[in-house]
Amino acid sequence: MTPSVSFQTSNFIRDIVLEDLKAKKYDSRVHTRFPPEPNGYLHIGHAKSICLNFGLAAEFGGLCNLRFDDTNPTKEEIEYVESIKEDVRWLGFDWGDRLFYASDYFEQMYQYAVQLIKDGKAYVCDLSADEIREYRGTLTEPGKDSPYRTRSIEENLDLFYRMRKGEFEEGSRVLRAKIDMASGNLNMRDPVIYRILKAEHHRTGNKWCIYPIYDFAHCISDSIEGITHSICTLEFEDHRPLYDWFLNELNVYHPQQIEFARLNLSHTVLSKRRLVELVEQRYVTGWDDPRIPTLSGLRRRGYTPETIQNFCERIGVAKRNSMVDMALLEHCLREDLNKSAPRVMAVLRPLRVVIDNYPENQVEELEAINNPEDFGMGTRKVPFSRVLYIEQEDFREDPPKQFFRLAPGREVRLRYAYFIKCVGVVKDEQTGEVVELHCTYDPKTRGGDSPDGRKVKATLHWVSAAHAIKAEVCLYDHLFVKENPGDEKDGRDFKSFLNPKSLEILTSCRVEPSLAGAVPGSRYQFERLGYFCVDSVDSSDGALIFNRTVTLRDTWAKIEKSQK
């Protein structure tokens, strides 16, 4: 399968690839990889990396691997591996037969570590983690050599072998690269390469009790797979000298690491650590909670893969960190759904309306357009009868100045139906709440057209009470009230910015009968209300549950203007 959007838009990484192709570097190959750590579900930040890596490979006739960076057995689970595969496929990308695991290379990595020891480039260090930190120095002060730095090659080989055999306790020893304790780059101050972890690994079981750290495992995996462009996020810029050091010292095939700015999105968090916290501590219902920016959450919310690909293309690839407004993502979503989602009528908070002069048992099938943006999507019939529901907020007994919808004595249009006029209001005797309206209709306005040029100021959506289907609707708002909840500079935990009103559940909604049997995952525009999607988890034959994907109000244009 080829992605529906490839990265045609120019960006600095694409320019590097173009240059390399021109210079016939790497035999004119383009081979990228997407290397998630299976310690959580993928989020939209990962989507940016997926689109970039798979997109570049697709554009230049190259290959892109899916590689699980499974070098930390304590936080990784098979559930995550499966969800990641599903999400990458859903986004529209295919790794063919190139599904790899860093753990497949553990033996090779071990041999490379032995090679470094033999070359006098690595040593076993008995300092504790705290001592290693102390010895490392700071940005302004050089580090101090470990007293174990001068161990003989023979002793190092013996100790490292016995580390592998499980003879030592966790934390008692590590293998470190011997680089430079005075380097201006802290990552080069004899970084740890292997640590003892007596944990079961989801693929290698108990075969290993020493595990390589990310920097060592990553460059070797890239090298083994013949990756040409190893694309990662900006935090790894300071690790690049180490990436290059390992591959140079080992004298093996050497891909180039290129860093780009990670995606930050407003009003949410894009860090697996924080997402794990939200899920495990049940601030949200799960990894697919429609309020979180995981791909499974976005999918359940009603996002399409096309929207996400489009968004990733729009935001581009930069070298400097910035924050993208959620409004842009929602703008891309509306653009997509405006064209693709059929329109229907649904009433979220029903108010009963009786049309006094409409014959008791009459039902008319009125024609409604499925999508005025695309007449090819055809029309459907909507039943009209004497008793209807309209939206509670479309009626005001005492309308303020700017309120043009229904009020006593006032006439409005019912979409695709008739003009109706409010002639009576029934209230609950106890609460005073309006529970029913009485209206008359004008038979000459069938289809919603005025016969005599008479104007009405509002068009309302409605459903026929006898024909409508009951439904539950989940309304979502930002999960966080703060634009950047992850920025904890003011000392407050990100969870203190959770939006208490991020979910409102409406249980007595009514939708038009054409939605009977609506397929889970299918998306609609509820006229005047927004885009909604049939929930794919909790909906069943008996119960229709909709998630509000996004409202109709597009705030992006305003933001864009203010930024200019």
CA distances from 348 to 99, 257, 474, 504 (A): 46, 52, 10, 12
121 annotated active-site? no
- Which C-beta is closer to ligand ATP: that of 37 or that of 155? 37
Smaller CB distance to Mg ion: residue 270 or 417? 270
Provide the minimum distance between the beta carbon of 231 and ligand ATP in the complex, in angstroms, as a whole number.
7
Stretch that binds Mg ion, among 31-39, 74-82, 236-244, 394-402 (CB under 5 A): 31-39
In the complex with Mg ion, the residue whose CB is nearer, 277 or 483, is 277
- Single residue of 179, 232, 292, 328 touching ligand ATP by CB under 6 A: 232
Query: Which one of ligand ATP, Mg ion, none is in contact with 11 (Cβ closer than 5 to 8 A by kind)?
Result: none
C-beta of residue 99 within 8 angstroms of C-beta of residue 38: no
> Which of 151, 173, 176, 272 does the annotation list as catalytic?
272
Q: Which amino acid is at 402?
A: Q
The Cα 157–Cα 57 span in angstroms is 41
Burial class, 244, CB count within 10 angstroms (exposed 0-12 / middle 13-18 / buried 19+): middle
Residue 270 is a binding residue for ligand ATP (CB under 6 A)? yes
- Rounded Cα distance between 367 and 375, Å, is 13
Picked from Mg ion, ligand ATP, none, the partner binding residue 509 (CB below 5 to 8 A depending on kind) is none
If the CB atoms of residues 260 and 462 are measured against ligand ATP, the closer one turns out to be 260
| Sheet order of strands, 63-68 included | 31-34, 63-68, 99-101
> Which residue in the set 121, 262, 314, 381 belongs to the binding site for ligand ATP (CB under 6 A)?
262
36 binds, among ligand ATP, Mg ion, none (CB under 5 to 8 A by kind): ligand ATP
What CA–CA distance (Å, rounded) separates 240 from 246?
Answer: 10
Please, what is the minimum distance in Å from the beta carbon of residue 35 to ligand ATP? Answer: 5
For residue 505, give the nearest of 307, 291, 336, 335 by alpha carbon. Answer: 291
How near is the Cβ of 119 to ligand ATP at its closest, in Å? 29
What is the Cα–Cα distance from 229 to 260, expressed in whole angstroms?
12
**CB closer to ligand ATP out of 161 and 214:** 214
**Binding pattern to ligand ATP, positions 16-45, x when CB under 6 A?**
-------------------xxx-------x
Taking the complex as a whole, the smallest distance from the CB of residue 385 to ligand ATP amounts, in Å, to: 52
By beta-carbon proximity to ligand ATP, the closer residue of 272 and 300 is 272
Catalytic residue among 98, 262, 415, 495: 262
Residue 64 as a binder of ligand ATP (CB under 6 A): the answer is no
Q: Which stretch binds Mg ion (CB under 5 A): 36-44, 242-250, 263-271, 351-359?
A: 36-44
Nearest residue to ligand ATP, scored by beta-carbon proximity: 45
Q: In the bound complex, what is the minimum distance in angstroms from residue 499's beta carbon to Mg ion?
A: 27
| Residue 206: Cβ within 10 Å count | 11
Instruction: Give whichever of 37 and 249 is closer to Mg ion, judged by the CB atom.
Output: 37
Beta carbon of residue 273, minimum distance to ligand ATP (angstroms, whole number): 6
Residue 35 CB, nearest approach to Mg ion (Å):
8
CA-to-CA dists, residue 471 to 11, 402, 436, angstroms? 46, 31, 20
Answer for the pair 178, 157: CB distance below 8 angstroms, yes or no: no
The CA distance from 10 to 30, in Å, is 16
Give the 3-state secondary structure of residue 308.
helix
Long-range contacts: 445-452, Cβ < 8 Å, 24+?
445/413, 445/418, 445/419, 446/366, 446/417, 446/418, 447/366, 447/367, 447/416, 447/417, 448/413, 448/414, 448/415, 448/416, 448/417, 448/418, 448/419, 450/419
Q: Tell me which amino acid residue 255 is.
A: P
In the list Mg ion, ligand ATP, none, the entry touching 262 (Cβ below 5 to 8 angstroms by class) is: ligand ATP
Interface size with ligand ATP, residues (CB under 6 A):
16
- Long-range contacts: 331-336, Cβ < 8 Å, 24+? 331/554, 331/556, 331/557, 332/307, 333/303, 333/304, 333/307, 333/531, 333/549, 333/550, 334/531, 334/550, 334/552, 334/554, 335/307, 335/310, 336/304, 336/306, 336/307, 336/310
Closest CA to 187 of 214, 150, 148: 214
Question: Interface with ligand ATP includes 292 (CB under 6 A)?
Answer: no
412: β partners: 420
| Closest alpha carbon to 527 in 405, 348, 366 | 348
The least distance separating Mg ion from the CB of residue 216, rounded to whole angstroms, comes to 14
Task: Pick the piece of the chain touching Mg ion (CB under 5 A) from 25-33, 35-43, 500-508, 512-520.
Answer: 35-43
- For this structure, is 564 an active site residue? no
Residue closer to ligand ATP, measured from CB, 65 or 370: 65
Report the residue number, 37 or 335, with the smaller CB distance to Mg ion: 37
The entry of Mg ion, ligand ATP, none that residue 35 binds, CB within 5 to 8 Å by partner kind: ligand ATP
Closest contact distance (angstroms) between CB of 336 and ligand ATP is 21
Backbone phi, psi, residue 494, to 5°: -60, -30
CB-nearer residue toward ligand ATP: 41 or 497: 41
Q: Is 21 buried (19+), middle (13-18) or exposed (0-12) by CB count in 10 A?
A: middle
Q: How far is the CB of 485 from ligand ATP (least distance, A)?
A: 14
Any catalytic annotation for residue 48?
A: no
Amino acid at 136: R
Q: Which does 510 bind (CB under 5 to 8 A by kind): Mg ion, ligand ATP, none?
A: none
Structure tokens at 30: 């383009």
- Binding stretches for Mg ion (CB under 5 A): 37
- Binding stretches for ligand ATP (CB under 6 A): 35-37, 45-46, 48-49, 69, 232-233, 262-263, 270-273
Catalytic residue set? 37, 262, 272
